[in-house]
Amino acid sequence: MKNLRNLIDKIKPNFEKGGKLHMFYSTFEAFESFLFVSNEVTSKGSHIRDNIDMKRTMSVVVIALVPALLFGMWNVGYQHFLSLGEEVTILIAFWYGFLKVLPLIIVSYVVGLGIEFAFAQIRGHAVNEGFLVSGILIPMIVPPDIPLWMLAVATAFAVVIGKEVFGGTGMNILNPALTARAFLFFAYPQDMSGGKVWISEKLDAYSGETPLGDALVGNFDNLPSTLQMFIGDIPGSVGETSVIAIILGAFILLFTGVGSWRIMLSVVIGGLFMGFLFNLVAVNEYMRLPAWEHLMLGGFAFGAVFMATDPVTASQTTKGKYIYGFLIGLIAVLIRVVNPAYPEGMMLAILLMNVFAPLIDFYIIDANVKRRKKRATIIINQSNIINQK
């Protein structure tokens, strides 16, 4: 530890201003602060500071994603061997999935962090940790067999167009991971939908539809059991199939307070509300689907827990979070059931509400402003009355 510190102190001058490697300062700083929390002390304002920092916060989210990720790796293998009709042990299935998913994670991190480091250096600020989360979210919401170049293009698009052009971390309007997903969905639709892509290297004869794909075309008999959807041993994107693994992650986010319970709760309520509304109308099979089953289908749970709660792109006011979440749930189910073109509505619902979140906040804050102005005018009126007397 001490030797490592000495080594860092020795090479540090090369990266500082005037050093030969100054162009890599942000990269150096990112790695240094990863290894050692800085020795910087407070110089103004509060003399003591909380132990929390962005690394800690982001690593909590990454930890919360681990159950869904591990399950996803196993499921990739399980679905593959299932489609071949082979029975294998959990470990073999996991190993197959691990080898499939690991390259996705590496590509996403290398491309994304590379761009982040470059922008941090150009802009002259420290590397923000936000991409640690985006970089793992992206592989979890794509089909397992996605070509790596496609993933790389989508990641680059998400980081540059989704984030950096708006000013970088904290300024982006759209969730970067979902921006990547949406880019793939619209740029390469044949690789992102249909019955072929959800199972890794499957036999052509085997039906590989996701439950949502079946539901869209009215194959409700093909839907897996509720228990299956809850556990998640069904075809789908890498990390989103297992509701139980996602709930485990949700518990971590809620307990540590990193994820907003207001958003998660209101997304669920919004989805249930729309589901019940359809149940009441019930003019076709899809509308008759029990409202609570919508929560288990597709990316609803994953979106509610990990995507809608992104603090940068969500509504920032307390009241706004309820409205924002409710509308995400509502629109997601609406798109699923009513729009025949898209089997899954969660991605589009969240992206749409990302765009509207600032508007929601505007009205919530405006109410506070109006309250303050009203308070002032009441007092002015009172004093006028007193003066008139």
Partner 1 sequence: MSKTIKINKGLDIKLFGESQKIITSVDSKKYALKPTDFNAVFPKLLVKEGDEVKAGTKVFFDKYRNNIVFTSPVSGKITEIVRGPKRVLQEIRIDSHPEISYIDFGVGNPNDLKREEIIKKLLESGVWPMIRQRPYSIIADPDDKPKAIFISAFDSAPLAPDYDLIVHGKGDVFQTGLDALIKLTNGKVHLNLNKSNIVSKVFSKSKGVQINYFEGPHPTGNVSTQINKIDPINKGDVIWYVNPQDILTIGRLFLEGKYNASKILALTGSEVKNPKYFKTTSCCCISELVKNNVKEGNLRYISGNVLSGTQIKSDGYVGFYDSQITVIPEGDYYEFFGWAFPGLHKFSFYRSFISWMTPKKKYRLDTNIHGGERAFVMTGQFEKVFPLDIYPMQLIKAIMVEDIDQMENLGIFEVDEEDFALCEYISTSKIEIQSIVRQGLELMRKEMS
Q: How many residues does the chain have?
A: 389
The region of 17-25, 48-56, 79-87, 226-234 touching partner 1 under the rule CB under 8 A is 48-56
Q: Tell me which of 13, 16, 49, 220 binds partner 1, using CB under 8 A.
A: 49
Residue closer to partner 1 (CB basis): 53 or 191:
53
CA triple 119-120-125, angle to 5 deg: 145
Residues 293-312 that bind partner 1 (CB under 8 A): 311-312
Distance of alpha carbon 47 from alpha carbon 41, whole angstroms:
8
The region of 29-37, 109-117, 187-195, 278-286 touching partner 1 under the rule CB under 8 A is 29-37
Q: Tell me which of 115, 178, 258, 295 binds partner 1, using CB under 8 A.
A: 258
6 binds partner 1 (CB under 8 A): no
CA triple 221-227-228, angle to 5 deg: 65
179 binds partner 1 (CB under 8 A): no
Distance of alpha carbon 306 from alpha carbon 65, whole angstroms:
8
Residue closer to partner 1 (CB basis): 65 or 107:
65
Q: Tell me which of 10, 18, 38, 186 binds partner 1, using CB under 8 A.
A: 38
Closest by Cα among 328, 339, 259, 324 to 295:
328
Q: Which two tokens stand for residue 148?
A: 């790596």
The answer to whether the beta carbons of residues 136 and 177 sit under 8 Å apart is: no
130 binds partner 1 (CB under 8 A): yes
Residue 49 CB, nearest approach to partner 1 (Å): 5
Residue 154 CB, nearest approach to partner 1 (Å): 23
The region of 213-221, 236-244, 298-306, 366-374 touching partner 1 under the rule CB under 8 A is 366-374
Contacts of 214 (CB under 8 A, 6+ apart): 220, 222, 223
Residue closer to partner 1 (CB basis): 51 or 225:
51
Q: Tell me which of 14, 57, 219, 228 binds partner 1, using CB under 8 A.
A: 57
The answer to whether the beta carbons of residues 56 and 242 sit under 8 Å apart is: no
How many residues bind to partner 1 according to rule CB under 8 A? 59
Q: What is the DSSP string of 322-358?
A: HHHHHHHHHHHHHHHHH-SS-S--HHHHHHHHHHHHH
Work out the angle between the directed axes of helices 54-84 and 90-123 (0-180°, nearest 10). 140
Binding mask 73-112 for partner 1 (x = CB under 8 A): ----------------------------------------
Q: What is the DSSP string of 101-170?
A: HHHHHHHHHHHHHHHHHHHHHHHTSPPPTHHHHHHHHHHHTS-TT--HHHHHHHHHHIIIIIIGGGTSTT
Where do contacts with partner 1 occur on this chain (CB under 8 A)?
1, 4-5, 29, 33, 35-42, 44-57, 59-60, 126, 128-130, 168-171, 255-258, 260, 311-312, 314, 316-318, 321, 361, 365, 368-369, 371-373, 375-376, 379
